[in-house]
Structure 1
Amino acid sequence: MMSKLLVVCLGNYCRSPFAQLALARRGGPRMVVRSAGLIGKWQDQPAHSAMINAARRLDYDLTAHRAQQISLSMLDWADTVLAMDAFVLTTLRAVCGPENENKLCLYLGDRDVPDPMGQDDAAFNECAVLIEAGTVLHTGGRFT
């Protein structure tokens, strides 16, 4: 059975684009992963250059990513919606309606993935490592 995951952060500019790649790699062909942001500030823009570099250090190519704002059709499409932090989760709960409530959870289960925006390259690298490690929570712990 195919799983459909939607990963959401604030702008679809740093955290969720990388999580999309990491989950897709770890989940393999049985998992379809998309990402989006709550706001459209970076709509159609590439991922943050520091996140592209952090992804490259972990052997991922994030250069093809273009940011998109979340839509109700994306929420309907997903089996599971993974919020990068509590603020995103709270906002999703407010906009998605009770029919989608059971789909929503934090990416790391019980804690936030810190937003590296405005910080140095080390913060982006740490964020990427944390996101990659978190894939185990959503893929049954298997690498494919």
Structure 2
Amino acid sequence: MRKLLTVCLGNYCRSPFAQVALTRRGGPAVTVRSAGLIGKWQDQPANPAMIAAARRLGHDLTPHRGQQITADAMDWADSILAMDEAVLVTLRAICGARNEQKLGLYLPGRDVPDPMGQGEAAFNDCAVLIEAGTALHTGMRRPL
């Protein structure tokens, strides 16, 4: 079983959605957790606009509660997937040598844009992009 950790800035929009999308797509072959670099939304539900975007794609994001990244979470993961380059740079600075080889972008060579502060369309576009990227990390090549 692969263990994936998705990370964004606050664990409020992108990484929680990636967690549910990867969990559904990967089934029992993967275990997925998510975290944020900052603890501003620790123990808080996901952004309401992302919950709505997730619902439109058939996912339930309502059980999510924000978590801040920890060394234990990084040690647990087989792969640590940053949602954008800025998050990846910060992860490299904090991860330690034993976890550095686990780091990568969720979408190789491409950021998943942060929809915070934008309208419904930005959240929908973000969710669709994350959903499309699930095949890269679950080994599943079937259509969504």
Calculate the TM-score normalised by the size of structure 1. 0.97
What is the aligned partner in structure 2 of residue 69 from structure 1? 68
Partner of 2:40: 41
SS of 1:64's equivalent? Answer: coil
Per-residue deviation, 1:142: 3.7
Residue 14 (1) aligns with residue 34 (2): no
2:45/2:63 contact within 8 Å kept: yes
Identity rate of aligned residues, in percent?
73
- Partner in structure 2 of residue 4 of structure 1: 3
**Residue 32 of structure 1: aligned partner:** 31
How do residues 115-134 of structure 1 correspond to structure 2 at under 5 angstroms? 115-134=114-133
Q: Given that residues 25 and 138 in structure 2 are in contact (C-alpha distance below 8 angstroms), is that contact kept between their aligned partners in structure 1?
A: yes
In the alignment, is the contact (CA less than 8 A) between 2:5 and 2:32 conserved in 1?
Answer: yes
Look up the SS of the partner of 2:6 in the other structure.
strand
Distance in 2 between residues matched to 1:142 and 1:47, nearest whole Å: 28
Task: Report if the CA contact (8 A) 1:23-1:139 is conserved.
Answer: yes
Query: What are the superposed Cα offsets for residues 96-116 of structure 1, whole Å, 9 maximum, x if unpaired?
Result: 111111100000011100000
Q: Which runs of 5+ in 1 are unaligned?
A: none
Instruction: Provide the rounded CA distance (Å) in 2 between the counterparts of 1:100 and 1:73.
Output: 11
Indicate conservation of the 8 Å contact 2:26/2:140, yes or no. Answer: no
SS across alignment from 1:105 = strand
> Which 4+ stretches in 1 moved above 3 angstroms?
none
TM-score when normalising by structure 2: 0.97
Between the two proteins, the alignment pairs up a number of residues equal to 143
